[in-house]
Chain A
């Protein structure tokens, strides 16, 4: 099951650059939440704060609180534990080229260890099915490298890899921006199905995509969360003038 995320007063810096200002947002469980905004508005940094990836850069800094099901990710948990509960899919597919498709999906499971190979294969098969990739790879998944797949397949492989360790939240940082329209629509269909079991946060440049997949949408501008509301409300009757300007294409 997915879990809700409660963010309060979140600030993030990159060196002396103040990137996120006092972000407060309640991301509902088992729904897809889209984050939109022009390039450089801080939406990617924001999702990277949710699984504590932002701080992996030596000059990056974060303050504020992020709660997952009531537990503070920053004061009560180790980063490694956070990332096992909050999975992430990146903009560009990044399978491990030296591993087979199976090994790619199993890579997260191997970190925790303690699984028999049979169990590992079952979990990996289930994850590949959930990521709608199983039918395309079932004959080659032990033999071929993860890098031998097409771009769209690679991205679904990365989704399967993230799902294998059974997180509660799935963060997707522009997961379809490097893909063709057919692969994109496959990923969108997938997001629809995954909502049943996971909380999904998706960063996107594509407003139609946000409208198609997400119940809630947040609009970021210059490091501030300008507006956060039901997707239909954001796209039909936004409360803020800047949101309206952005969705009607006046800038961005």
Chain B
């Protein structure tokens, strides 16, 4: 009784071919292996490209790194003539404009996405979504022109009145000349809203009807269903859209440099002109005379890479803390 019988009389044993180890060609012919290899190559290429990128930024910034060390990050002097380079005004400008852009864009983008997904008739929603996705395809130099010819004159017109009431708050103080952190943030906000809207709309539409009905059956109004069930259910996707918007804002170059003023200084006031990392690299790369100058600019690229990584990591940590308690069985 101790033996396990795996074949009964009359049933033929499985043919030997099934047990034999298959050759590579045989496995490739079945498709699974081929797809596995191809997709794996795609996956590794991402790591390879990232590695090469960091390696190059690291190698070609070595002179500046050796010269300034960590001081590069915290000093504010940017004086190519005397060979003094400090990244702080650019890091500050990049982070401030990107975060302010998100503060402006998130309520607008999420509001539009909720309207398009939950309230608007499907035909209106599809038409508007098409237009919004078109906005994402407009070249950034066009947004820069809009900033110079439309936004800045408009802001210049309303700012004196605005400052009469809110000028006492440090972030709104000082004379407004048009080009400023604030103008750059508004343009960035306009540029990233389409990302937030179109992705958030998709994830809101993907929330199962069962979730909506569960809340509705408890006597919830339409708005309560949206705000208490649909949006929380979709929050991970919404946060994903915000990450994408943030990445776009941090790296945006052309539109920002056209409206931010390109002054390497750090100001508390959002009304003052400033500079960002991407903008200074683009503007000064062609005129970088001497290895130290060039290496300082490339080190700025390395810093931008690090800033992007750190902010994304923080955002992901935030998302994890929000997700606590959600145990998927």
Give residues in A with beta carbon < 8 Å to B.
51, 53, 56, 80-84, 87-88, 90, 92, 94-100, 107-108, 110-112, 143-145, 147-150, 158, 161-162, 165
Contact = CB atoms under 8 A, between A and B. Distances in A.
Contacts of A111: 218-220, 224, 228
Contacts of A92: 210
A110 to B, nearest CB: 8
Contacts of A98: 232-233, 235, 326
Contact of A94 (B213, B228, B232, B235): B213
Contacts of A99: 232
Given A81-B219, A107-B218, A90 B213 contact: yes
Given A83-B219, A111-B219, A111-B220, A94 B214 contact: yes
B218 A147 contact: no
Contacts of B214: 90, 94-96, 158, 161
Contacts of B233: 96-98
Contacts of B217: 51, 53, 83, 87-88, 90, 162
B93 to A, nearest CB: 36
Contacts of A90: 210, 213-214, 217
User: Which of B210, B219, B224 counts the most chain A CB atoms within 10 A?
Assistant: B219
A53 B217 CA distance: 7
Nearest to B122: A58
Contact of A108 (B218, B221, B329): B218
A95 B232 CA distance: 13
Contacts of B220: 80, 111
A144 B325 contact: yes
B216 A83 contact: yes
Given A97-B326, A111-B220, 9 more contacts: A56-B213, A56-B216, A83-B218, A96-B215, A99-B232, A111-B218, A145-B325, A147-B329, A148-B327
A143 B327 CA distance: 10
24 contacts: A53-B216, A81-B219, A83-B219, A84-B218, A84-B219, A90-B213, A92-B210, A94-B208, A96-B233, A97-B233, A98-B326, A110-B228, A111-B220, A143-B325, A144-B325, A145-B325, A145-B327, A147-B326, A147-B327, A148-B327, A148-B328, A148-B329, A150-B329, A158-B214
Main secondary structure of the interface of A (DSSP, over half): mixed
A107 B219 contact: no
Tier of interface size on chain B: 20 to 34
B211 interface: yes
B173 interface: no
A155 B254 CA distance: 55
Contacts of B216: 53, 56, 83
A57 B224 CA distance: 17
A96 B232 contact: yes
B320 to A, nearest CB: 14
Interface string B73-88: 0000000000000000
Nearest to B322: A98
B323 to A, nearest CB: 8
Nearest to A153: B329
Contact of A144 (B211, B213, B219, B327): B327
Contacts of A108: 218-219
A239 B235 CA distance: 54
Nearest to B323: A98
Nearest to B228: A107
B146 to A, nearest CB: 38
Contacts of A51: 217
Contacts of B218: 83-84, 87, 107-108, 111, 161-162, 165
Contacts of A143: 325
B163 interface: no
Given A51-B217, A84-B219, A107-B215, A96 B229 contact: yes
A96 B233 CA distance: 8
Contacts of B211: 94, 96
User: Which 4 pairs between the two chains have the least Cβ-Cβ distance?
Assistant: A84-B219, A148-B327, A108-B218, A88-B217
A145 B219 contact: no
Nearest to A99: B232
A149 B326 CA distance: 11
Contacts of B210: 90, 92, 94
